[in-house]
Structure 1
Amino acid sequence: MSHHFLLSRPLVLAALLATGAACMAPAVHAEGSAPSPRKTRSGSVEMIRSVLEVVSVDEKSRRLSLKRDDGNTLSLVASPSVRNIGQIHGGDFVVAEYGRAQAVSIKRISGNGAGNEGKTPPAPPAKGKTATARNAKVVHSIVADIIAIDDKKGFATLKGSKDNVIDVVVTDRKALAAVKIGDQVRLDYTDAVAISLKPARSKR
């Protein structure tokens, strides 16, 4: 009987190993479905990834207007890592991965002026530094309503009069604490930047 037990042990061990390998095998997901909006991280910057409809593309400035599921639009600037911008056209659906716009300042105001937008030229570079396409950021100014705030992460979402939505990171937590949802504010901000724009395999 002990001889039979010794012969069976390798068979039992092989069966256990096969079972463990099956448990550790990665799950296979069906391809072709549109990814739901999700948040990933690129370095220390939290990125947003979702399927958006292209409204317009300015290839020269690399600026795109994109429509979200809720019908609101957002504006993104394609980073140098996006090399297929010439192949993207209005009406296309893309899987966009992008970071939030950066708030330079945010202040509550009174009166009606939502949607008034302008541009402020970038500050001159510090001595010893050469201005490049990467650091010569344009600061935009808009009057809009706050529709969402995440105090923990320092995020805010604002909506202008033309259904344009801006997701911003507000590093000045005191300024963020001084405003609330429903307030009309003047926001100075730099562009949200897309690091990837890929054709969507299916519409949303």
Structure 2
Amino acid sequence: MLRAPNGKVVKVEVNPAVGDVKRLKVGDQVNVKYARALLLHAHKVGEHGIRERIDTEAISPVTKGRTTSIHTVQVVATITSIDARSRLVTLRGPTRTVTLVASSALPLGNLKVGDSIRADYTEATIVQITRNGAPLR
């Protein structure tokens, strides 16, 4: 469990080949790079679609003390906000609410707040554990 500078607590799963997390102590600095989730597809479904979620995760082999995790989500959710200028879409799904960046290939003009949609999005996390700037082995 990590606490971000803004105070938010985030759970990060670490491949043991990246570093021995048992060697970490409370207060150690850990660098985690998170790429904002990208909304790839959004298709309208029935007005009251049953919310569901399917998660798939792929983890790359460790390279230079880093591992990359790609998390793909298929969800039926409700649009709670759209910021067309920034291309941000907020979805309320069965387990949480997420704000996603819409891909440039996704037309936002036919979507509106309150629509139930089937959406596909991906999140990426890069993990490298360091202590005092040196990789933890």
Q: Scaled by the length of structure 2, what TM-score is found?
A: 0.58
Separation of aligned partners in 2, 1:88 and 1:167? 32
Separation of aligned partners in 1, 2:128 and 2:88? 21
Contiguous gaps of at least 5 residues in structure 2 = 62-66, 130-137
Separation of aligned partners in 1, 2:14 and 2:102? 29
**Relative contact order (C-alpha < 8 Å, sep 6+): which is higher?**
2
Q: CA deviation at 1:179?
A: 0.8
Separation of aligned partners in 2, 1:117 and 1:107? 15
Q: Which runs of 4+ in 1 moved over 6 A?
A: 83-86, 194-197
1:19-168 map, 5 Å: 50-54=6-10, 56-60=11-15, 87=24, 98-110=34-46, 111-114=48-51, 116-119=52-55, 137-162=70-95, 164-168=96-100
Of the candidates 111, 114, 118, which is equivalent to residue 186 of structure 1?
118
Instruction: Give me the identity figure in percent.
Output: 24
Separation of aligned partners in 2, 1:88 and 1:188? 37
Structure (1/2) with the larger strand percentage: 2
Structure (1/2) with the larger helix percentage: 1
Separation of aligned partners in 1, 2:112 and 2:128? 32
**Contact (CA 8 Å) 1:102, 1:192: kept in 2 or not?**
no
Q: Scaled by the length of structure 1, what TM-score is found?
A: 0.42
**Contact (CA 8 Å) 1:106, 1:175: kept in 2 or not?**
no
RMSD, aligned α-carbons: 4.0
Please tell me whether Structure 1 or Structure 2 has the larger radius of gyration of its CA atoms.
1
**Contact (CA 8 Å) 2:33, 2:127: kept in 1 or not?**
yes
Contiguous gaps of at least 5 residues in structure 1 = 1-33, 36-49, 62-79, 123-131, 198-204
Change (3 A) 1:59 1:120: closer
